Amino acid sequence: MAAEGTEDLGNNGQLTNPSELYEPEAADLPKTDVKESAERGADGGDTGVPTTPYTAEGEEEEEGEMPADFQRLWKLTSDNPQDFNSWTDLLQYCEQEGHMRACRQALNAFLLRYPLCYGYWKKFADLERRAGHVNKAEEVCERGLKAIPLSVDLWIHYINLLLGTLNMNLPESTQRIRSVFEEAVAVAGWDFHSDRLWDLYAEWEKEQGNLNFMTGVYDRVLRVPTQFYNTHYEKLKAHLTSHPPQDVLSPEEYSKVRNECKQSQIQAKKERSDISAEEEERPPGEEEPADNVQKMQELLMVSREELYQQNEAEVRKRWNFEDAIKRPYFHVKPLDRAQLKAWQSYLDWEICVAGHNRVLILFERCLIACALYEEFWNKYVHYLAPHGLEEVRNVYRRACEIHLPYKHSIHLQWASFEEKHGNITEAQRILESLEMTVPGLAAVRLRRVGLERRAGRLDVAEALLKETVEKSKDNPQLHAFYSIKLARFLHKLCKSPSRARTVLQEAIELSPDNGRLYHNLLELEMSGDLRSNGGGILQCVAKAVAAPLSPKTKILFSQRGLQFAEDFGTTVQRSELIQSILGSFSTSDKTCILCYITNLLLLLSLLKCSLKGSYYALLQSLDFVLGVY
DSSP string, 34-66: HHHHHHTTTTTTS----SS----TT-PPPPSPP
pLDDT score at 260: 78
Mean pLDDT, residues 432-440: 94
Q: Which of 392, 311, 379 is nearest to 346 (CA)?
A: 379
CATH architecture of the domain covering 34-49+67-276+301-314? Alpha Horseshoe (1.25)
pLDDT score at 528: 76
Q: What φ, ψ does residue 151 adopt, rounded to 5°?
A: -80, 105
Q: How far apart are CA 373 and CA 349, in angstroms?
A: 20
19-33, 40-54, 365-379, 478-492, range with the lowest pLDDT: 40-54
**How do the domains of the chain map onto residue ranges?**
34-49+67-276+301-314
Per-residue pLDDT at 18 exceeds 60: no
Collapse the DSSP code of 597 into the 3-class scheme (helix H, G, I; strand E, B; otherwise coil) and give the result: helix
The pTM is what? 0.78
CA distances from 616 to 428, 576, 611 (A): 63, 12, 8
CA 191-192-194 angle, 5° bins: 60
pLDDT in tens, 72-101: 999 999 999 889 999 999 999 999 988 999
Q: Which of 362, 344, 345, 364 is nearest to 354 (CA)?
A: 362
> Is residue 192 within 8 Å of 277, Cβ to Cβ?
no
pLDDT score at 608: 41
Confidence class of residue 606 from pLDDT cuts 50, 70 and 90? very low
- Residue 57 CB neighbours (<10 A): 8
> Is residue 189 within 8 Å of 211, Cβ to Cβ?
no
Q: Sort residue 441 into left (φ over 0), alpha (ψ -120 to 50) or beta.
A: beta
> Is residue 376 within 8 Å of 351, Cβ to Cβ?
no
Q: Which of 131, 87, 129 is nearest to 111 (CA)?
A: 87
pLDDT score at 270: 63
Cα-to-chain-centroid distance, residue 435: 18
User: Comparing 192 with 259, which gets the higher pLDDT?
Assistant: 192
> Is residue 44 within 8 Å of 433, Cβ to Cβ?
no
Q: How far apart are CA 83 and CA 90, in angstroms?
A: 11
pLDDT in tens, 303-352: 899 999 999 999 999 999 999 999 999 999 999 999 999 999 999 999 99
> Is residue 54 within 8 Å of 344, Cβ to Cβ?
no
User: Comparing 526 with 491, which gets the higher pLDDT?
Assistant: 491
Q: How far apart are CA 315 and CA 193, in angstroms?
A: 12
> Is residue 47 within 8 Å of 81, Cβ to Cβ?
yes
Q: Who contacts 175 (Cβ-Cβ below 8 Å, separation ≥6)? A: none
Confidence class of residue 539 from pLDDT cuts 50, 70 and 90? confident
Q: How far apart are CA 534 and CA 176, in angstroms?
A: 87
Confidence class of residue 555 from pLDDT cuts 50, 70 and 90? confident
Question: How far separated are the first and last CA of the chain, in Å rounded?
Answer: 77
Query: Per this entry, what is the length of the chain?
Result: 629
What angle do the packed helices 374-384 and 356-369 form, to 10 degrees? 160
User: Comparing 10 with 321, which gets the higher pLDDT?
Assistant: 321
Per-residue pLDDT at 391 exceeds 90: yes
Cα-to-chain-centroid distance, residue 289: 62
Q: How far apart are CA 628 and CA 624, in angstroms?
A: 6
Q: How far apart are CA 417 and CA 28, in angstroms?
A: 22
- Burial code (b: 16+ CB inside 10 Å, e: under 16) for 79-98 equals eebeebebbbbbbebbbeee
Long-range contacts (CB closer than 8 Å, 24 or more residues apart) made by 169-175 = 174/208
CA distances from 186 to 23, 26, 173, 195, 361 (A): 14, 9, 20, 13, 12
Per-residue pLDDT at 30 exceeds 70: no
Confidence class of residue 39 from pLDDT cuts 50, 70 and 90? very low
Confidence class of residue 200 from pLDDT cuts 50, 70 and 90? very high
Residue 567, judged by CB atoms within 10 A of its CB (0-12, 13-18, 19+), counts as: exposed
Q: For 334-393, give the DSSP string.
A: PPPHHHHHHHHHHHHHHHHHS-HHHHHHHHHHHHHHTTT-HHHHHHHHHHHGGG-HHHHH
Per-residue pLDDT at 508 exceeds 60: yes
User: Comparing 504 with 282, which gets the higher pLDDT?
Assistant: 504
pLDDT score at 176: 96
Q: For 281-349, give the DSSP string.
A: ---TTPPPPHHHHHHHHHHHHHHHHHHHHHHHHHHHHHHHHHHH----S--SSPPPHHHHHHHHHHHHH
pLDDT score at 50: 34
Q: How far apart are CA 376 and CA 366, in angstroms?
A: 8
Q: How far apart are CA 233 and CA 565, in angstroms?
A: 91
> Is residue 108 within 8 Å of 49, Cβ to Cβ?
yes
Give, for 7, the enclosing helix (H) or strand (E). none
CA distances from 338 to 206, 318, 332, 344 (A): 43, 17, 17, 10
Per-residue pLDDT at 195 exceeds 70: yes
The per-residue pLDDT of the chain, averaged, comes to: 81
Per-residue pLDDT at 418 exceeds 50: yes
User: Comparing 621 with 146, which gets the higher pLDDT?
Assistant: 146
Amino acid 551 reads: P
Q: How far apart are CA 380 and CA 416, in angstroms?
A: 17
